[in-house]
A and B are shown apart, each in its own frame.
Chain A
Amino acid sequence: MNMALLPLTSNLLPLFVAIPLGSAFVVSLLGKKWRGFSDTFSNLATFSLFSLSSFSLLLIKQFGTIVYKIGGWIPPIGICMVLDSLTSFMLITVNLIAFLVTIYSISYMERYTDKWKFYTLFLLMLAGMNGVIVTGDLFNLFVFLEIGSISSYALVAYGVEHEELEASFKYTVMGSIASSFILLGIALLYSYTSSLNMADISRSLAQGKGSQVVFFVSVLFLMGFGLKAALVPFHAWLPDAHPSAPAPISAMLSGVLIKALGVYALARIFFNVLGMTTISSSILMVLGTISMVLGGLLALGQEDIKRLFAYSSISQIGYVILGIGMGTTLGILAGLFHLFNHAVFKSLLFLNSGSIEYATGTRDLRKIGGLTSKMPVTGYSSLVGSMSISGIPPLSGFWSKLLIILAAIEAKHFILASIAVLVSILTLAYYLKVQRFAFFGELKDSLKGIKEVPLTMKLSMITLSIICLLGGLLLIPGIQKSFLSLATEVLVNGNNYAQVIFGSIK
């Protein structure tokens, strides 16, 4: 491929937003008329998105960073979309999990009414997430953040039972306040730099234009995006919202939404736009550590499977923020690798809990036991997922946790490294509790008649456990250089983001 093909192939950047948005409205128009239409159409859409995001890796290797001007207007006058290595890393993560979850929900959502409404909202949420990842403009990020958040508020309340409505109300109020903080931060930043393009703001701030207000704006963004990412002390909505949603939505929320809307936006703004200072770095590390410890301690006493997994999500996101907050190359590499791993094994665990609920009708750990004999696929994939998240070699979780601990030791934060090791042992403890109560042990009499789940659900779970097993291969130097290290370099570059973007506009 030579440079003449660049305009043709860079036209695929807007497709990441246009495909899910268009499919959502087509499903809404035609899904009522034909049965099975919504299933096939949404699966086609997510499969095409996944193949496009894998293709984007090849594009970056050929052309470097691609900047796409929407409508032909040159930034900073117009809105631009940016495809660099961090973007394609996040795109692959999000679209892979979305594809596997739509396969799973072909059978799972039969129990709820009106499947076409579910697919419409799901594709809108996916469009919002893809838009946040791909955009290069600050207000565009806010609009897509809102699209993704509002669809997730509606999806949490999908099966209208008592607890789902209560959880969705709490989540909506807290999420809207967070979005108002983000909008306030954008307004302040605009008033000092008079531009909304991320690269242009980065350039103006480096020249010292808005120096009085940068700290206040970074605190506002930390509050807003921290709530979307479920950092402590902004985590209170997560243990209510994630268990109440239907199982494929819990997998999407806990697996990718808090990462695409929360951690990615936080990393992009703190590293590339505002510039990382020692104060911000220490705040992120301290908040990450408190999240790790609090999430782990609160997960020990839970009896509901999905609530336990939700607290465990808070704990693992603490690991990711600790890694990214360190600011060193090894730390950011470890944080991003743990982000990818956690997306894979947390969605696997939530899909497992969904199939337990599908087969037995309950989520309480005290009422189930010994399920592996009747449901082997669920049992063994859950075993792989739990061992991976606890950090047992040679599964993928072990490598990422080891890298985080090594990065902490290299940066001479010995206390944080020891806390990370202790929390890892704690994680092993409560996952062993889940395995013992749910899968091994005696089969209770009331559960003698259960069967294994349908084929599509089995397929997604098997695929995700294979990725868990092979995840450690991402660290082999040849593969690592093309996937993870490039993504790390984008963040480590920091304020050079502006020069990269303005140099790539053609």
Chain B
Amino acid sequence: MIYLMCLILFSIGIYCILVKRNLIKIIIGLGIVEYAVNLFFVLVGYRVQGRAPILAQDQVIQNMVDPLPQALVLTAIVIGLAVTALIVAIAIRIYEKYGTFDITKIRRLRG
């Protein structure tokens, strides 16, 4: 059930990228898509009645959730950060050159 909510979030992000006309809204949509996939990946590691996977001293090892997706999602979040930083810098320069954020007016390449 909760995986369905992640995929609904993913489709909201894709809708935002496809329909909106402002460059900044497209960037926000891209962020939503990336975070939806990260959330899905972390939830894959959930085990029923599991604890946080931290081992402290003198502790009995019990049910823990899967720690491997958590490490992988940490990397994926940083990758998303790098893409967002790059695309925001490109968007600022586009505003400098074209004077507008509207994608229907930024259409010099065609054919």
Binding site for B on A (CB under 8 A): 139, 143, 146, 150, 153-154, 157, 160-163, 165-169, 172-173, 176-177, 179-180, 183-184, 187, 190-191, 196, 240, 244, 301-302, 307
Binding site for A on B (CB under 8 A): 10, 14, 17, 23, 26, 30, 33-34, 37-38, 40-41, 44, 68-69, 72, 75-76, 79, 82-83, 86-87, 90-91, 93-94, 97-98, 106-109, 111
Chain A residues with Cβ under 8 A from B33's Cβ?
176-177, 180
**How many Å from the CB of B11 to the closest CB on chain A?**
12
Contact partner of A172 (CB less than 8 A), chosen from B37, B87, B97, B98, is: B87
Extra inter-chain contacts (11) besides given A150-B82, A168-B90, CB under 8 Å = A153-B83, A153-B87, A157-B90, A166-B106, A166-B108, A169-B23, A169-B87, A172-B83, A177-B33, A179-B79, A190-B44
Contact (A143, B75) CB under 8 Å given A157-B90, A169-B87: yes
The answer to whether B44 and A183 have CB atoms under 8 Å apart is: no
Chain B residues with Cβ under 8 A from A307's Cβ?
111
Chain B residues with Cβ under 8 A from A153's Cβ?
83, 86-87
**How many Å from the CB of B42 to the closest CB on chain A?**
9
Interface of B, helix, strand, loop or mixed by DSSP: helix
Contact (A183, B41) CB under 8 Å given A163-B109, A166-B109: yes
The answer to whether A180 and B86 have CB atoms under 8 Å apart is: no
Q: Complex: how many Å from CA A31 to CA B45?
A: 44
**How many Å from the CB of A308 to the closest CB on chain B?**
11
**How many Å from the CB of A255 to the closest CB on chain B?**
22
Interface of A, helix, strand, loop or mixed by DSSP: helix
Q: Complex: how many Å from CA A301 to CA B86?
A: 34
The answer to whether A160 and B93 have CB atoms under 8 Å apart is: yes
The answer to whether A187 and B93 have CB atoms under 8 Å apart is: no
Chain A residues with Cβ under 8 A from B30's Cβ?
173, 176-177
The answer to whether B87 and A162 have CB atoms under 8 Å apart is: no
Of chain A, the residue at the smallest CB distance from B71 is A139
Contact partner of A187 (CB less than 8 A), chosen from B44, B87, B109, is: B44
Of chain A, the residue at the smallest CB distance from B40 is A187
Chain A residues with Cβ under 8 A from B10's Cβ?
180, 184
> Can you list 27 A-B contacts with CB-CB less than 8 angstroms, sorted by A residue number?
A150-B79, A150-B83, A153-B87, A157-B90, A157-B93, A161-B97, A163-B108, A163-B109, A165-B93, A165-B94, A166-B94, A172-B83, A176-B34, A176-B83, A177-B14, A177-B30, A180-B33, A180-B34, A183-B38, A187-B41, A187-B44, A187-B69, A190-B44, A190-B68, A190-B69, A196-B68, A244-B109
The answer to whether A302 and B40 have CB atoms under 8 Å apart is: no
